[in-house]
């Protein structure tokens, strides 16, 4: 997963590396980009997609690259954006825990950081592996890191590209650097007054526009882009579904046609000028040594501060992994002054204002264990109530205090310290692994509120009621106008209303800028960043139409079940998806194969149920007799072309799996009437109902508007 293996691909001598004279070159309006080849994969690293956000462009919206760069030798690992990484202290939990966390590379601190960092990497099949006339679908990666850290240098997609070649379903991979922590997500009324909020999301959207304009030069199809992310990257993918009211077009064409979300979706926050957000801004401002009577003066100070001073100030707030683990200091926050990200995510879902595209979305079984490790101060149930209530400031219009919701939610994970908290996480481990009195309960609550239960909440509002496959969903949208506000209405996404899938279609107008319900006035001229004013201009309410909502697939990964203390924890999917986990070859192959099929055909099961089966293998499909025809060979000794798998950079499975066992099974769509999950186990793919912890989910669903950071 780390690009350290790619260093040998791109910069160090190797018998398999292309000589300079034969290195791949691509010409675009900005210049000629020269990459390198290793095995069957061409790589182009560090291509700028925006003007450097330095000097007066610091803390401003990204601007498209205008200047020509002539010839760019894109063969070295590019600079990462400024990082805010805190090490996970595992000293009291043993070497096995430390090794497991280190193996994900998720929490690794990268070198070569700086503000001039808005670049992207492209990896594709090398010449000879595809036809010159082919236009390949594109997989667009957004890294995670709690909106505090992350870098393209951590991810090498060579294994994914090789797998796509082996399956005769080749794809192109794009990964992007975007600004994180205070450089990309600093909140506050000052920035809202300039329209300079959620800059990291704006970086991502600009990179998508760059792909739309340039990826054809690499042999990619700009009309077949799938956006993919993990953790905060997955939350970003979700945000792109609701940005601009769900309008994801650029120059009249969709920027993406499908989405994959691994361990992240909806994250509830208060708006950019709310008290918790303003406190983060004020802390950074103070630690940077900035003050002034006006927003212009304060921002001018931040923009002229030397880089080390601002970086230290950015790191002066609570970190992702700390005794305040749940405190995301720099999440995206709705900006009521701007129509880019103006609506609360749960309101956008419940009003049907999202991009209508097919989706894969899933979780690791024990998402919260790694985040609960530093919370050793939690000894009693009262400690738990006090600690978690502190993260969700009360909404003035709410009749319930957050502590009441937390108390109700905690009751669904009974407090049984003498029994080892058997209902906590890592789940299904009885009384084992409770390394401090409230560890397993804290891990369960963090993982469920932030990641797992929110996934179910999103799917119930996003997806088809009956699992009908709708691959054309992403092709149409329409726009309506209300007063002076243009609203991109996605009412076609609304599934039929049922008791399990209620939509707030006609909520009353609210005036609180922290309200989770009601219509939102998107006209920035009618609001001030420090509060809200009532207006006669509102977003029109919506009603169900007859269009088919998006098709979704969902999963739960359990392949690390039984691993002490951590279980299948957050970020364990990264080595699996990127082909770096040699002890989990079956889920690695399954995930890569399903995802590649989805990128190609908007269906993880492949393009045709009539296609011939080839060689099969792998102990998968134990819970299903249905076999995915195009994927039947994916765990065997040959790809769907019938040609021998060479392995290449993808770590082919020749000789590893038993060719006499079942092939990869059909992954059923997620339906509200039958919510099934693929269960990625260590030795097979099985299926399960998405009904676990129903009591916890009932509390979360009722109180989702109050679970906001």
Torsional sign, CA 511, 514, 516, 519: positive
Q: What residue has token string 């039958």? A: 674
User: Quick count: other Cβ atoms within 10 Å of Cβ 305?
Assistant: 17
Is 265 labeled as catalytic in the residue annotation?
no
What DSSP state is assigned to residue 113? B
Q: What residue has token string 């201009």? A: 537
Angle at 20 between CA 15 and CA 21, to 5 degrees: 115
CA distances from 354 to 224, 236, 252, 442, 498 (A): 19, 13, 17, 32, 20
Tokens of 606: 């492949």
Cβ burial, residue 537 (10 Å; 0-12/13-18/19+): middle
Contact between 624 and 665 under an 8 Å Cβ cutoff? The reply is yes
User: How far is the C-alpha of 289 from the C-alpha of 282, rounded, in Å?
Assistant: 11
DSSP codes joined into one string, 617-673? -SS--TT---B-GGGTTTTSSS-TTSSPP--GGG---TTTS-TTS--PBP-PPPBTT
In this structure, the strands spanning 136-142 and 220-230 are parallel
Helix (H) / strand (E) containing 229: strand 220-230
The catalytic residue among 36, 175, 231, 696 is: 231
Helix (H) / strand (E) containing 47: strand 41-48
Tokens of 577: 């998806």
On the question of a cis peptide bond just before residue 426, with omega within 30 degrees of 0, the verdict is: yes
3-state secondary structure of 430: coil
User: How far is the C-alpha of 515 from the C-alpha of 322, rounded, in Å?
Assistant: 29
Q: What residue has token string 């001030």? A: 528
In this structure, the strands spanning 70-73 and 676-680 are unpaired
Tokens of 133: 């006339």
Which backbone phi and psi does 73 adopt, to 5 degrees? Answer: -85, 95
Q: What are the residues whose beta carbons fall under 8 Å from the beta carbon of 618, sequence distance 6 or more?
A: 586, 589, 590, 634, 635, 636, 653, 657, 658, 661, 662, 663, 664
Tokens of 693: 């912890």
User: How far is the C-alpha of 597 from the C-alpha of 228, rounded, in Å?
Assistant: 14
What are the residue numbers of the active site?
A: 231
């Amino acid at each position: 997963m780390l690009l350290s293996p790619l260093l040998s691909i791109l910069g160090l001598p190797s018998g398999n590396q292309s000589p300079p004279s034969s290195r791949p070159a691509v010409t675009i309006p900005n210049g000629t980009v020269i990459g390198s080849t290793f095995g069957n994969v061409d790589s182009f690293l560090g291509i700028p997609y925006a003007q450097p956000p330095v000097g007066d462009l610091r803390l401003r919206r990204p601007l498209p690259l205008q200047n020509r760069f002539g010839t760019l030798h894109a063969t070295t690992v590019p600079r990462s954006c400024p990082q805010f990484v805190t090490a996970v202290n595992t000293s009291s939990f043993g070497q096995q825990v430390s090794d497991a966390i280190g193996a994900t590379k998720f929490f690794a601190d990268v070198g070569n950081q700086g503000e001039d960092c808005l670049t992207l990497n492209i990896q594709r099949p090398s010449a000879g592996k595809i036809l010159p006339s082919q236009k390949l679908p594109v997989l667009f990666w957004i890294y995670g890191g709690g909106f505090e850290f992350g870098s393209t240098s951590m991810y090498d997609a060579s294994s994914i590209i090789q797998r796509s070649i082996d399956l005769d379903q080749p794809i192109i991979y794009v990964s992007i650097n975007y600004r994180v922590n205070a450089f990309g997500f600093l909140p506050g009324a000052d920035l809202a007054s300039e329209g300079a909020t959620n800059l990291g999301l704006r970086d991502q959207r600009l990179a998508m526009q760059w792909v739309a304009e340039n990826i054809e030069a690499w042999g990619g199809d700009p009309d077949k882009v799938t956006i993919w992310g993990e953790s905060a990257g997955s939350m970003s993918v979700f945000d792109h579904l609701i940005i601009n009211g769900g309008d994801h077009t650029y120059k009249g064409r969709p920027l993406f046609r499908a989405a994959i979300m691994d361990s992240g979706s909806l994250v509830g926050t208060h708006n950019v000028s709310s008290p918790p957000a303003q406190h983060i801004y004020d802390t950074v401002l103070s630690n940077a040594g900035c003050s002034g009577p006006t927003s212009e003066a304060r921002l001018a100070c931040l923009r002229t501060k030397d880089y080390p001073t601002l970086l230290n100030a950015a790191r002066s707030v609570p970190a992702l992994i700390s005794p305040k683990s749940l405190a995301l200091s720099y999440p995206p926050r709705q900006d009521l002054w701007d129509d880019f990200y103006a609506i609360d995510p749960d309101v956008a879902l419940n009003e049907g204002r999202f991009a209508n595209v097919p989706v894969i979305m899933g979780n690791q079984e024990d998402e919260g264990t790694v985040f609960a490790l530093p919370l050793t101060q939690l000894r009693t149930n009262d400690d738990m109530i006090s600690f978690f209530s502190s993260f969700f400031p009360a909404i003035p219009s709410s009749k319930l205090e957050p502590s009441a919701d937390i108390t109700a939610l905690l009751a669904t994970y009974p407090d049984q310290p003498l029994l080892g908290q058997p209902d906590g996480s890592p789940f299904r481990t009885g009384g084992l692994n409770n390394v401090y009195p409230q560890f397993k309960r804290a891990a369960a609550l963090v993982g469920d509120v932030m990641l797992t239960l929110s996934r179910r909440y999103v799917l119930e509002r996003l997806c088809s009621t009956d699992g009908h496959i709708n691959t054309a969903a992403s092709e149409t949208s329409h726009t309506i106008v209300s007063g002076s506000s243009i609203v991109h209405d996605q009412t076609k996404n609304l599934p039929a209303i049922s008791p399990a899938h209620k939509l707030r279609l006609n909520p009353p107008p609210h005036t609180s800028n922290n309200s989770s319900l009601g219509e939102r006035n998107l006209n920035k001229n009618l609001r001030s960043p420090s509060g809200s004013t009532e207006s006669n201009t509102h977003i029109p309410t919506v009603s169900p139409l007859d269009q088919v909502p998006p098709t979704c697939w969902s999963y739960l990964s359990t392949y690390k079940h039984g691993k002490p203390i951590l279980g299948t924890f957050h970020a364990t999917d990264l080595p699996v998806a990127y082909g770096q986990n040699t002890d989990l070859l079956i889920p690695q192959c399954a995930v890569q194969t399903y995802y590649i099929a989805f990128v190609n055909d908007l269906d993880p099961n492949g393009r045709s149920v009539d296609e011939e089966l080839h060689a099969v293998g792998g102990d998968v499909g134990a819970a299903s007799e249905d076999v995915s025809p195009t994927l039947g060979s994916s765990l065997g000794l040959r790809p769907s072309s019938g040609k021998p798998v060479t392995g290449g950079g993808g770590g082919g499975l020749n000789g590893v799996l038993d060719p006499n066992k079942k092939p990869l099974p059909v992954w059923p769509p997620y339906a509200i009437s039958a919510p099934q999950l693929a269960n990625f186990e260590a030795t097979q793919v099985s299926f399960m109902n998405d009904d676990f912890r129903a009591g916890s989910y009932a509390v979360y669903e009722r109180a989702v508007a109050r679970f906001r950071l």
